[in-house]
Each structure stands twice: as C-alpha cells, then as structure tokens.
Amino acid sequence: MSEIHNVKLEILRPGPAHNQLLSPLTPYLVLCGADGPVTVRLPFEQRQLLIRLERLRYYTEGTPVPAGQREAELRELGETIGQMFGQVPGLLAELGSVQAAKGKFVHLRLSLSGFELALLPFEAAIAPAGFPGSGSPLFLQSKTPITLTREVRRGRPLPVEWNRPPRILFIFASPGGLAVVPAERHLVALRRAIDPWIKIKNSEEARLAEVKNILTVLPEATLEQIRQACMDTEYTHVHILAHGAPYDHAGDQQYGLALCDSTNPAEVDVVDGERLAIALTTDRALDCAARHRPTVLSLATCDSGNVRSVLTPGGSIAHELHAAGIPWVFASQFPLWMRSSTIFTEVLYKRLLKGADPRCVLHEVRQRLRTSCPETHDWASIVTYATVPWDFENQVSDFREKQTRGRIETKFARIDDLLKIGEFEGQDEKTVTGEMDGLCASIREELQAWREEPEAQSSDRELAERLGVSAASEKRIGIAYEQIAGKEKEKLEAYQKCCLLYRQAMVAEPSNNWVITQYLSMLAVLMRAEKVGMTELAKKHGHWWSTARQISHWRLLNAVGSERAWACGTLAELEMLGALYGGEQYSAEEAKKEIIRCCNEILETCGPKEFPVQSTMRQFRRYVDIWKQNEWDDFARAALAALGDSNVSPQKERP
C-alpha cells in the first residue's frame, strides 16, 4: 500500500451552518497547510446553482436530461470548483511536495462550516493548471492519486476503533409500491466479500450458520427493527439499500430514506438522518456508559448525501449520521443507478474486509464506476464523510494483518476437518487429498503476498514476524501431510520450506529467541523426517541454542502476564532441545526440572484454558504424537504432565 499524505482543507465563514445562501458576494476563509488563510468567493448564486444541479439528476420534471447537456454541466461545475482549489497556494504547495515524492497517495480532508457549501459537487473537480492530471477529473487521475472525504468540524476528535471483528448488518426496503431494489445482487456481493472468512463445511446448514455469524439481513426493514437489531448486536458495518425520498420538515423540503412503516409495513416511512442515527447508535444496555456505533455505514440510496435545502438546521442524511458519531459514511449526492450501487457495494466491502485502507478503496470505487458505468456520473456522486485519527494507519495495518491471518486460519480449519474420519464419508480419498493440496497451495500464495507487502519490506521486525508465521504455517502443512499415507514428498517439502523461512526470519531479526527456537526445533524434525543422524547438531548449531537460551532468560526477568507465559514456554522447549544441541555440559536431569518449573509457571500466570497454555501444550503434544523421537519423548511427556494434559501416558524411563 502506498504511503498516504494527509492534507486538510477548511472552508469557513461566520454565522450558523444553516440559513446562508450562496452568493458571489460572500467571502469564505480557506485554510490549508502551514500557509496563511486565503479569501475566496464562489461564482454561484443559490438559485442558479440549484438549477444547474437539477440537470445532474438525469430527469427534470419527468423529462430526460440530454446526456450531452448533463456531461457539459458536470464538466463546467468541475472546472469552476477546480479553479477555486487553484486559488489556495497552500493546497498547491502540499500537492507539489507529494508529486516530488513518487509513490505517495493524497487524502484531501475537506471541512465545511456552511451547509450551502455541501451543495457543491467537490468530487467532480477538474484539476486546474499546476495540479496533478491537469484538465482531467482530480479524483480519478492516477498520476498522483487523490481521494476526497468530507468531515464535520468537532470540538474534540471522534474515537475510531477500526480493528474490530467484522459484523455486517444488511438492511433493505422498497415499500409502498416503490421499484424493487436489487437486494439479491447486493446480498451476493456481501456474501462474496465475507467468503474468505467463512469456514468450509460439507452441509449447507452448517455453512449458513457460519455466514450468520458475520452477516445479518433485515429485509423490508422498519426503523424499529433497525433499532432493535443494533441494540441486540454490535455491528461494525451497516449497509442500507433503499430509495431516497423527499419529505417536508418545518415548512422546508429535505431528503430522507424510504423504509417500511413500523405500524403498516406496506406504507412508506421517510426517515431523516437524525432518526436513523438514533436507531443505529442506540444504547445496548441501560447502564451503558457510551453508545455503540458502527465504524462504517454505506448508503446505497439516491440523494443520501444531498442537502437539498440550507434554510433549516440539519444537513444531508450522511452529514447527520457522521455528526452523530459514525466515523465513516458512504453516500450519494445525486440519484444512484442500481447497477452502480451493486458495483459500489462489491468493491467497497471486498476491499475493506481484506484490510485495504478505506481512502484507497474510495479511489478504487470512483475509478471502477467511471469505467464500468460510463453512461452515468455516479463516480462523482459518491460522497464520503470520514474521521481519520492520528493512529489510523496503524489501526488499518493491524486489521489487515488480522484479516490475513483469519483467511489462512479458515483454510487450516478445513484441512483439520478433512483429516477427521467423519469428513471422508461420501468422498473418495483422492478427492479429499486433492482439496487439501489446493488449500495448501492457496495458503502459500496468501503468505507470499503478505511477506511481499511494503510494510514487511520496510521493517526487519515486521518481516521477521511474517516469515515466522509463514514458517509456522509450513509446519502445520507438514504435520497434515504426516497423517496421510503416500505424502512423504509433500511432508518433506513443507518441513524444508519451514526451516528455510525460520532461517530467513533469524537473519531479519537475530535477537528473536522464539524464531531461533522454532528453527532449531524444525531442523531436528527435518533430520528425523529425512532419516539423517542428529549427532552433528550440537557441533553445527549449538551456539544458536546457547544464544536463544540466554536471550530467553533475559526476557524472562522483566516479562509479566501473557508475555511471561510465552517466554516460559519458549524456555521449556529450549531445555528439551538441549538434548540435541546442548553438548557435553547438558544435564538431562536439570533440564527436566527446568521444563517442569517453566510449565508450572505458565499455569500460575495463565488459566488452563487460556491460549498460551493451550498453544504450549499443543506444541509438546506434537513431539509426543507426531514427531516421535527417543531424544525428546521423556521431556515432552514431562511438560505435558506439568501443564495438566490428562491424555499424556506415564513418563518412560530414559535409556
């Protein structure tokens, strides 16, 4: 992912946000970067702009707007907005510095103080002279990719928690004789987006249950049903597919959302942004200290980003939802074509759930709509209100890593199921092993792409982490092939790759004692698999064992909590491996005592069901059940007994 450069552009005027009309006489104060404020005037009268915007609605009073006229209007408005951007020296300077540093992506954050400014289709801006892609749409050009989001001015930053397990609520409605919305196509798009994290099951019922753990559907929804759903479950993403509809409020017209009426579902309930925000952010309990809010809200709805009137308080639906505390709101300023709404949903959720940065995803959405729907200007219609905290890049990176690991874990879960006797029923062994080979190849492709990401290449520690995870995955593949007859070649290949990856991780981060330990472990396992003598291990690799053991003791001095449990687990495994790497000064009796002490300390630090205990137990169980070898069998059994494994058989006497 490209490095993202944030640029904030504030357009201010005195007075309240509402009840101000556009006029060439109104001065606006524009702030950008370190430069001083600039005064600009917009060459629009309110009535004139509304007439011009009406031509971008495809139909005027039931009459189609000629495509040529609509396209010319969009171009002219875009050029005017681009000229306004060109009057801000600070913006030009910021973009110039980014152009000099190739490979950067620009996030332009637009903060507006007046509702009348929200009427302008900033997303359609044409790049003026001196800007990247001069003469072309500023937010489509790829020379220096720029994405635009809007935001509400706040007194304090809005908290954003991006790295949460995804839980999606899909809401759709087409009540009162309105045209049927393409709910099935949106559902297919969402279903495909979550598919990499859905456990593969043989029965449809079991698979549907897995889908429901991530995706909930509210068909022909009412506002009360939405409120109840959000009160019962914390959703991270909410996707709404419905028609936009005008409604009267305080003698003025605004745009709302056409949902089913709570008392009569056949009737239309036009819901404004304020009511919808209350339903989506409802308290989950009476003693709730703070309201739960979805992180992302996507509105596949006509005019959900359209202000319509600036006379009364309250902006567009998207503005109201963002003001209510929803960090990311995707909407449409103009009518949104059904085909475009499906493409929008497909690209948005597929990329977001993979862990892509939403700012980059927004740029992709615009480009995809421009190429796939050339007869529309939906690419310019998409409006996004966003909050980006100071640590947003780290949050996105952590989420992307978690999602990558989740995809891999889903495939390993299927491999584990295939190795169970029950999963072979009704399938021949060739079919099952063929599926397993495909899963292993897919896991390797995922891991290779993950290791090649720029974040890994720019940090030795991050690279070592990803190499270590890749090596552990190869180890699991080798263990799986151990359990299938006739797969000696595949098993050996996996163990060899595992050793190579652990070795590369050691080079990337030599002080990582866990990586060194796993390298020594798999080196011994590989020699066992290749039926090669282990007598030379101490001479060739004993110094690595001594180094890892010393680092483990140092780290144990200040480690607390789960970190201490992991350190004890690593030290216990090293003491066991000392039987191969320790040399003449190694004492089997002292090592066994140290292993038992470390395992007891793990149990004292963590509960028996906690992950560090279960993971350590699983590793020692491999030495007993899969990598059977006299040199470590007694030590591994002692560790399992100390960890409380009831399945371990009595310890054997060492020969």
Residue 109 has φ and ψ, to the nearest 5°, of: -95, 115
Same domain? 360 vs 256: yes
Query: Which of 359, 387, 415 is where one domain is finished?
Result: 387
Q: What is the largest CA-CA distance in the chain?
A: 97
Same domain? 546 vs 626: yes
* pLDDT at 291 exceeding the cut of 80: no
Sign of the C-alpha dihedral computed for residues 371, 372, 373 and 374 taken in this order: positive
554 inside domain: yes
The token pair at 424 is: 């072979």
Residue 101 has φ and ψ, to the nearest 5°, of: -100, 100
* pLDDT at 650 exceeding the cut of 60: no
Residues of the chain with pLDDT > 70: what percent?
A: 95
Compute how many other C-beta atoms are within 10 angstroms of the C-beta atom of residue 490. Answer: 19
* pLDDT at 423 exceeding the cut of 90: no
* pLDDT at 545 exceeding the cut of 50: yes
523 inside domain: no
Contact 261, 245 (CB under 8 A): no
Same domain? 303 vs 233: yes
| Burial (CB count within 10 angstroms: exposed 0-12, middle 13-18, buried 19+), residue 458 | exposed
How far is the first Cα of the chain from the last one, in angstroms, to the nearest whole number? 56
- Residue 649: the pLDDT is 63
For 173, half-sphere exposure in the C-beta direction (CA atoms, 13 angstrom radius) is 28
- Residue 310: the pLDDT is 82
Rounded to whole angstroms, what are the CA distances from 56 to 202, 363, 368, 378?
A: 50, 21, 20, 10
Q: Which of 495, 484, 518, 528 is nearest to 629 (CA)?
A: 528
Question: Which residue range forms the structural domain that includes residue 74?
Answer: 3-151
* Cβ burial 123-137 (10 Å sphere, 16+ → b, else e): bbbbbbeebbbeeeb
Same domain? 327 vs 200: yes
491 inside domain: no
Convert the pLDDT of each residue in 566-611 to its tens digit.
Answer: 999 999 999 999 999 998 889 999 999 999 999 999 999 998 889 8
- Residue 648: the pLDDT is 67
Same domain? 106 vs 183: no
- Calculate mean pLDDT across residues 244-253: 84
Query: Which of 106, 122, 151 is where one domain is finished?
Result: 151
Strand runs labelled E in 356-514: 382-386
Query: Which of 387, 419, 435 is where one domain is finished?
Result: 387
- Calculate mean pLDDT across residues 511-517: 94
Same domain? 211 vs 316: yes
Give the chain's domain count: 3
369 inside domain: yes
Residues 6 or more apart whose Cβ sits within 8 Å of residue 655: 630
519 pLDDT band, cuts 50/70/90, is: very high
Convert the pLDDT of each residue in 178-206 to its tens digit.
Answer: 999 999 999 999 999 999 999 988 888 99
487 inside domain: no
* pLDDT at 311 exceeding the cut of 80: no
294 inside domain: yes
* pLDDT at 290 exceeding the cut of 60: no
Measured distance CA(271)–CA(175) in Å, rounded: 13
The token pair at 411 is: 């495939």
Rounded to whole angstroms, what are the CA distances from 649 to 476, 637, 644?
A: 24, 8, 12
Same domain? 196 vs 102: no
435 inside domain: no
75 inside domain: yes
Same domain? 139 vs 174: no
Q: What is the residue type of 28?
A: Y
* pLDDT at 286 exceeding the cut of 60: no
Convert the pLDDT of each residue in 363-397 to its tens digit.
Answer: 999 999 999 999 999 999 999 999 999 999 999 99
Same domain? 118 vs 227: no
Convert the pLDDT of each residue in 346-372 to its tens digit.
Answer: 999 999 999 999 999 999 999 999 999
* pLDDT at 224 exceeding the cut of 70: yes
Collapsed DSSP state (helix, strand, coil) of residue 171: strand
Rounded to whole angstroms, what are the CA distances from 346 to 192, 365, 379?
A: 8, 9, 14
- Residue 457: the pLDDT is 85
218 pLDDT band, cuts 50/70/90, is: very high
The CATH number of the domain holding residue 255 is 3.40.50
Contact 477, 442 (CB under 8 A): no
Same domain? 248 vs 335: yes
Strand runs labelled E in 338-480: 382-386
The token pair at 161 is: 């928690």
Same domain? 112 vs 194: no
* Cβ burial 515-536 (10 Å sphere, 16+ → b, else e): bbbbbbbbbbbbbbbeeeeeee
- Calculate mean pLDDT across residues 464-471: 94
Same domain? 230 vs 312: yes
